[in-house]
Copies of this chain bind each other. A is one copy, B any other.
């Protein structure tokens, strides 16, 4: 049994901001950048999937609350990542800003309509979904492993995605990590200290992890 996590709904405090200035694809061209406060909900599980989203800055988590109160985190998204893609008309997860976050939104219906004519865009959508699929498959591989291996895999994922070889600044809480890895905060904490004692990592502050022995981490990730 995992810890029950209360997800406090904070009033989302939305307001329109300036549109993103780097126009790389069709998607960016259509939306306006929108700020979300820490812990505010971007969309809820079961809501109609009206928009697609792209993180401009900050970090987003998608999550799902199970009937008995357990929470599973689907993924963390950082600047540049697309999220909110759904095949059906409803979001299967909810999405919340972990830190102050800016997000570009674009009407799903508009994208879908365009994709029906523009095969390049259609391909882009399909590729994004595939990338998502690949990530969830990796996630499955994490969840069958031991606590140490899960944490190691998580740190490597974070290091890789932030393109910082040896220092990871974690935007998420221990509870977020625990709910992502299917463990408890205590186990996360203990595993961090184990890894620190074996000089694989250093933890100068709770939210900053320094990877001292990357190959040892990779070995743990098996």
State the A residues within 8 Å of B (CB): 1-2, 64, 66-68, 70, 72, 74, 86-88, 92-93, 115-117, 119, 122-123, 125-127, 129-134, 136-137, 139-141, 143-144, 146, 182, 222
Docked CA distance A68–B219 (Å): 10
Q: Are B92 and A137 in contact, CB atoms less than 8 angstroms apart?
A: yes
Complex A-B: 24 CB contacts under 8 Å: A2-B144, A64-B141, A67-B222, A72-B144, A87-B126, A87-B127, A87-B130, A87-B131, A87-B133, A87-B134, A88-B130, A115-B119, A116-B119, A117-B119, A119-B119, A122-B122, A122-B123, A125-B126, A126-B126, A129-B133, A140-B140, A140-B143, A143-B144, A143-B182
Q: Are B87 and A144 in contact, CB atoms less than 8 angstroms apart?
A: no
Residues of B within 8 A of A93 (CB): 137
